[in-house]
Amino acid sequence: MNLTNKVALITGASGGIGRSIAMALADAGASVAVHYSSNLQNALDVVNAIKSNGGNAKEFNADVSSPESVEKLFNDVDSTFGRLDILVNSAGIDGVRQNIGDDDINSWQKVININLLGPYYCMRQALKRMQKNHGGVIINITSDHVVIPWSGYSAYCSSKAGLDMLTKTAAQENADKGIRIVSIAPGAIKTNINKSVWQNPETLKDLNGKIAMGYAGSADDVANAVLYLASDMASYVTGITLTVDGGMLIYPDFRHDG
């Protein structure tokens, strides 16, 4: 899976899943635009790690919930790399745990603004460029919570479900333009966001019990899926959601007669 001469923009690439995606695409030969929202040092760490492996990368700052900031981001990527072939919308937050009715409306809207409107703004900018170039790939990172309700996180679930359908609709609109648009739905992936869960033996045991393969995944598991979908190996794949969850959605509790 060779991405030499390709340019990829990864939002939320300063840590977690986004970082692994940036590293994987760079290892495959792509020049990588490393987006970050607040942690410049983490973004520089990713850029330096890519460069130390012989790759090409540069950090870019933007607030993905602002259409003006997103437009500047894409213009800056144009000025640096001259083109865009791959967009991965990985930036996202889960928000504050609050049940509907007891929640803060502004907090709810913040999750929607980043997780749903952010990818929408980025997709609009990417499509303008990809349509001119008659090709490109957009990969949206959604979640198993497109399917599984998660009490206290209605904004997160709604944003990811909305992004999943946005992916399919945009894929339908652009399939005849040489542009493929897909989504990846990770399950339980070990990152800093859920560190308190997987570092606690008791909660980790409970989490692993929800996964058919019996263990939580790594960010590299998601990155490998992104690498496949971004490459020509997936040239006939568009409008789908690839689940990367170790079998969480096949309900392992039902293995023994329910």
H-only helix segments in the chain: 16-27, 40-52, 67-81, 105-112, 118-133, 154-174, 195-198, 201-208, 219-230
Q: In the block, which residue shows the tokens 């990818």?
A: 119
The Cα–Cα gap between 36 and 45 comes to 12
Q: What is the dihedral of CA 28, 183, 64, 188, to 10 degrees?
A: -90
The Cα–Cα gap between 228 and 237 comes to 10
- Has 236 been annotated as catalytic? no
**Residue 113: CA atoms inside 13 Å, Cβ hemisphere, count?**
13
Burial of 4 (C-beta count, 10 Å sphere; 0-12/13-18/19+): exposed
CA dist 68 to 74, 121, 135, Å?
10, 9, 25
| Encoded tokens for 140 | 């949206």
Which of 156, 215, 228, 251 is an active site residue?
156
CA nearest neighbour of 212 among 245, 252, 258: 252
Q: In the block, which residue shows the tokens 């259409």?
A: 67
Q: In the block, which residue shows the tokens 């993905």?
A: 64
Q: Which residues are catalytic?
A: 156
